Amino acid sequence: MTFIDDILNYDSLSIVGLQKNTGKTVSLNYVLDRLPVERKRIAVTSIGIDGETTDQVTRTQKPEIYLRQGMYFGTSEMHYRQKRIVSELIDVSDENTSLGRVVTAKALTGGKILLSGPSSSSGLKRWMKDMHRVGLDLVIIDGALSRMSLASPAVSQSMILATGAAYSTNMNTLVQQTAFVVDLIKIPLTSQENLDLLLPIEKGVWFKDSDGALHEIKTVSSLSQEIRFEGMDDCKTLYVAGALVDGFLEKVRKNPKLKSTELVVRDFTKIFVTPQQFRLFHKLGGTIHVLQKSKLIAVTVNPTSPLGVVLDSDTLCARLSEAIQLPVYDIMRLKDAEEKTANTICN
């Protein structure tokens, strides 16, 4: 059953769009419609706001989120009051968003809903942990790849990435840019020792010496125009808690004292470097690891852009799958094919 069976191997899933209108909500609805709710307890929430009928930026129509009976959901107080389903209130947390506290409930009927859950990575992790603590099998996160998002989809065990013509109407560019994001998602984890040491640190630039001692570099910011690494002759691991940008990566690459240093970032969403800088860094022997990562299960595509440009779906799926070595699905065509098969069997 496409990638649905793979999802069941993990306790959490993020569905992430590279751009608005790349089919993230269509992919989410496809997953929600096919998961075995009769034998799995499933909860869903969103990093941003999803389920609106109209995109607030492009003013284009958007698919609404449909929950099945028995599914759990986390949303803001504001959107909980606007729900169009019968539900059982489970919890009102202390986690505040701009739209109120996060409400957790169980759908007693199927229906459409607006989702707007925890807005920070720490809040998202707490909500996920609470869901697993009360016996839920799978937590699904409607994710975001945006500088505006403070919550990272990389906190989930698995991920589905949605891309498409809204990201670029040039197929060559679309394949290259999506493949680069996939490369970032696949960056390996750092050691467990580094994970335990660095994960609690959310700000600044730090380095670990050969004795395992941790030092903050207070004179250096990863976004600084002037970057001078001083007193780091014994730097084994360099940790950037914030954004990793081209200028910083270039300085690390050109510093002979850091040639064998492991560079660590929190997760792939913190990397804002060009493919050229990223690949040059690796080509010259640089090492980048992350503290958090997800298993990328599949990539979905929407070949139609909001401007009306339509790419050839078969060609796009084939080229992208070859570039990333993962299954790629056009969800709308996949649904059509499944419905035709079901009708054939019924007839």
Nearest in space to 102 (alpha carbons), one of 117, 120, 123:
117
Q: Quick one: pLDDT at residue 336? A: 85
Q: Quick one: pLDDT at residue 55? A: 54
Q: Quick one: pLDDT at residue 171? A: 97
Per the DSSP assignment, residues forming a β-bridge with 96 are: 101
- Annotate 21-75 with DSSP letters as a single string: TSSHHHHHHHHHHHS-TTT--EEEEESS-B--SB-TTT--B-PPEEEPTT-EEEE
Is residue 162 within 8 Å of residue 15, measured between CB atoms?
Answer: yes
Assigned token pair, 156: 């989930």
Where on the phi/psi map is residue 204: left (φ > 0), alpha (ψ -120 to 50), or beta?
left
Is residue 318 within 8 Å of residue 175, measured between CB atoms?
Answer: no
Q: Quick one: pLDDT at residue 320? A: 98
pLDDT in tens, 118-130: 888 888 999 999 9
Q: Return the CATH class of domain 4-186+293-346.
A: alpha beta
Q: Quick one: pLDDT at residue 143? A: 85
Residue with the bigger pLDDT between 275 and 339: it is: 275
Sequence spans of domains, the chain:
4-186+293-346, 192-290
User: Does the pLDDT value for residue 147 go beyond 60?
Assistant: no
User: Does the pLDDT value for residue 56 go beyond 60?
Assistant: no
Q: Quick one: pLDDT at residue 60? A: 53
pLDDT in tens, 88-118: 999 998 878 888 899 999 999 999 999 988 8
Q: Quick one: pLDDT at residue 64? A: 86
Angle at 69 between CA 67 and CA 73, to 5 degrees: 50
Q: Cα separations (Å) of 207 from 200, 225, 234, 294?
A: 14, 20, 9, 25
Q: Cα separations (Å) of 93 from 123, 189, 252?
A: 10, 31, 42
Q: Quick one: pLDDT at residue 38? A: 93
Mapped onto helix, strand or coil, the DSSP state of residue 343 is helix
Q: Quick one: pLDDT at residue 51? A: 47
User: Does the pLDDT value for residue 225 go beyond 70?
Assistant: no
Angle at 202 between CA 197 and CA 208, to 5 degrees: 40
pLDDT in tens, 234-256: 899 999 999 999 999 999 999 88
Q: Quick one: pLDDT at residue 222? A: 76
Is residue 128 within 8 Å of residue 140, measured between CB atoms?
Answer: no
User: Does the pLDDT value for residue 35 go beyond 80?
Assistant: yes
Q: Quick one: average pLDDT of 207-225?
A: 83
Q: Quick one: average pLDDT of 167-187?
A: 96
Taking all residues of the chain, what is their mean pLDDT, rounded to a whole number? 89
Is residue 152 within 8 Å of residue 12, measured between CB atoms?
Answer: no
Residue with the bigger pLDDT between 278 and 229: it is: 278
- Block residue for tokens 């914030």: 242
